[in-house]
């Protein structure tokens, strides 16, 4: 029962189609005009960005008007010959069983030059003699290939539905699936889809299927996925850049700040510059960028940022001399940042212990955590009695004892001596 939700919740009637009310209205009127005889334009050309409901509209209309839909799409061959064979169908208004017929040429963008040679010409000819409505669908109707075709068609533009319209659709799906979704979670998905309902529904399914609740946290990473996409492009422009200018321009594309971009570059350079000379040059450039970061910090003069950028982008780009571009090397999230937040908690308790040591040992807490704590760990591991003595002398809390002993068992042993 794992139907894609795009199929499961595909609109069955025109009423259910999201947005594009005007376009649909125009389309319906044109279909209705066939009842009064053949209209001046025998074909309708529906065009617009992907996922806004063009094909769905035609399908729903066929159902609403109880028409037979005959479809050709990119997966079929559309050479002149193939289209002509198909054309016989178009010469009759109705099918053998009395139902009226619509002929649909979907995904016209997919017509390729050689394989579908003569396809456009053939379609044009079919239209001129058609006895039943013909519908063409493409993303870009203004492709020069379609120039002559356009003259014979009623052009109907499909626009991106608004966020509100997409949101309403997502809400309806959640209701049917029994998912309790946070408003801002759905809004996030809707906004991110930029009017592409198909991708919004796909995302919703990926995130929410099998869940009872959908929260904002569940979806927020989607945004991160996007940002990674752009950061990868930016990194590629820098690490594989050929000119200083090009590498520097990448900074404007990045939607992370300069410090974060630095971390991304610093993390990934070694994986992508395998030649030792190249690597040394690149790391050198990064270290210079870092020097200027320090100078900004010290002087609070942010105009130095331009040198930071020069070195971390152009400096890295021109470092590449010997390394060959071979295969595909992935980019990683800056590990240093992850490690930093991971060890933060540890540093807090270390510092607390450091403060205890400081009170007795005339040494700063920071220094104590660094210089004395490692020895305490050895003592606490090996000699519970001595450890207990020191714990008492330093007035350590049970949590501290357990941290230094590095195990609950050891800590218990030490506590026995503490009584």
Partner 1 sequence: MSFEMWAEKYRPKTLDEMVNQKEIVERLKSFVKAKNVPHCIFAGPPGTGKTTAALCLARDLYGESYREYIMELNASDERGIDVVRETVKTFARVRSIGEVPFKIMILDEADNMTADAQQALRRTMERYTETCRFILCANYSGKIIEPIQSRCAPFRFTYLPREEHDKYLRYIAENEGVTLLDEGLDAIYEVCGGDLRRAINTLQAAASLGKPIDAKVVYSIAGRANPADVRKMIETAMKGNFIEARKQLREMIQKYGVAGSDIIRQIHTEIFRLEIPEPWKIKLAGIVGEIDYRLVEGADEEVQLSALLARLVEAAYEVKGAKKV
Of 99-107, 123-131, 211-219, 380-388, which part binds partner 1 (CB under 8 A)?
380-388
Nearer CB in complex with partner 1: 77/393: 393
Residue 364 interacts with partner 1 (CB under 8 A): yes or no:
yes
Decide whether 129 or 322 has the Cβ nearer to partner 1.
322
With residue 354 as reference, give the H or E element that holds it.
Answer: helix 335-361
386 counts as binding partner 1 under rule CB under 8 A: yes
362 is a contact residue toward partner 1 (CB under 8 A): yes
Q: Which stretch binds partner 1 (CB under 8 A): 33-41, 194-202, 205-213, 340-348?
A: 340-348
Q: Is 280 in the site for partner 1 (CB under 8 A)?
A: yes
Q: Which long-range contacts (CB under 8 A, 24 or more apart) does 110-119 make?
A: 110/73, 110/74, 111/74, 111/78, 111/145, 115/77, 115/79, 116/77, 116/78, 116/79, 117/79, 117/80, 118/79, 118/80, 119/78, 119/79, 119/80, 119/82, 119/83
Nearer to partner 1, 204 or 279 (CB): 279
Smallest gap from residue 376 Cβ to partner 1 (A):
8
Of 153-161, 163-171, 213-221, 290-298, the window that binds partner 1 (rule: CB under 8 A) is: 290-298
Taking a C-beta distance cutoff of 8 angstroms, is the pair 282, 316 a contact? yes
Name the 3-class secondary structure at 85.
helix
Up-side HSE of residue 143: CA atoms within 13 Å toward CB?
Answer: 19
By CB under 8 A, what part of segment 291-320 binds partner 1? 291, 293-295, 297-298
How far is 228 from 236, CA to CA, in rounded Å? 12
Q: Classify the phi-psi angles of 107: left when phi > 0, otherwise alpha if psi is within -120 to 50, otherwise beta.
A: left
The interface region with partner 1, picked from 56-64, 69-77, 188-196, 355-363 by CB under 8 A, is 355-363
Q: Read out DSSP for 270-320? A: HHH--SHHHHHHHHHHHHHHHHHHHHHHHH--GGGHHHHHIIIIIIHHTT-
Sites for partner 1 among residues 238-277 (CB under 8 A): 266, 270-271, 276-277
Site of interaction with partner 1 (CB under 8 A): 266, 270-271, 276-277, 279-280, 282-284, 286-287, 290-291, 293-295, 297-298, 335-336, 339-340, 343, 346-347, 350, 355, 357-358, 360-367, 369-372, 374-375, 377-379, 382-383, 385-390, 392-394
């Amino acid at each position: 029962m794992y139907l894609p939700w795009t199929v499961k919740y595909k609109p069955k009637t025109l009423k259910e189609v999201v947005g594009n009310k005007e376009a649909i209205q125009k389309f319906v009127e044109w279909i209705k005009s066939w009842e009064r005889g053949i209209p001046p334009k025998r074909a309708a050309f529906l065009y617009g960005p992907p996922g806004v409901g063009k094909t769905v509209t035609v399908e729903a209309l066929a159902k609403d008007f109880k028409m037979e839909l005959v479809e050709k799409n990119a997966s079929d061959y559309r050479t002149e010959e193939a289209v002509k064979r198909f054309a016989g169908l178009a010469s009759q208004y109705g099918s053998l069983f009395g139902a009226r017929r619509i002929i649909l040429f979907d995904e016209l963008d997919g017509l390729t030059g050689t394989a579908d040679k003569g396809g456009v010409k053939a379609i044009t000819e079919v239209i001129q003699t058609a006895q039943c409505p013909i519908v063409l669908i493409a993303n870009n109707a203004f492709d020069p290939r379609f120039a002559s075709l356009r003259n014979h068609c009623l052009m109907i533009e499909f626009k991106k539905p608004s966020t509100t319209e997409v949101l309403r659709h997502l809400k309806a799906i959640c209701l049917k699936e029994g998912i309790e979704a946070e408003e801002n979670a759905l809004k996030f998905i809707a906004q991110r889809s930029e009017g592409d309902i198909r991708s919004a529904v796909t995302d919703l399914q990926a995130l929410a299927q099998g869940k009872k609740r959908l929260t904002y946290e569940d979806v927020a990473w989607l945004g991160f996925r996007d940002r990674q996409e752009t950061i990868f492009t930016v990194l590629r422009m820098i690490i594989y850049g050929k000119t200083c200018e090009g590498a520097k321009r990448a900074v404007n594309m990045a939607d992370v700040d300069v410090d974060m971009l630095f971390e991304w570059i610093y993390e990934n350079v070694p994986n992508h510059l395998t030649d030792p000379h190249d690597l040394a040059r690149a790391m050198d450039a990064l270290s210079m960028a870092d020097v200027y970061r320090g100078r900004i910090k010290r002087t609070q003069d942010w105009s130095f940022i331009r040198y930071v950028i020069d070195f971390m982008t152009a400096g890295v780009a021109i470092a590449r001399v010997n390394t060959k571009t071979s295969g595909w090397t992935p980019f990683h999230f800056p590990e240093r940042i992850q490690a930093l937040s991971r060890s933060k908690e540890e540093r807090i308790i270390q510092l607390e212990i450091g403060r205890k040591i400081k009170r007795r040992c005339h040494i700063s807490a920071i220094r104590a955590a660094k210089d004395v704590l490692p020895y305490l760990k050895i003592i606490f591991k090996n000699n519970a009695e001595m450890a207990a003595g020191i714990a008492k002398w330093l007035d350590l809390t049970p949590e501290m004892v357990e941290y230094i002993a590095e195990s609950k068992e050891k800590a218990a042993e030490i506590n026995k001596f503490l009584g």
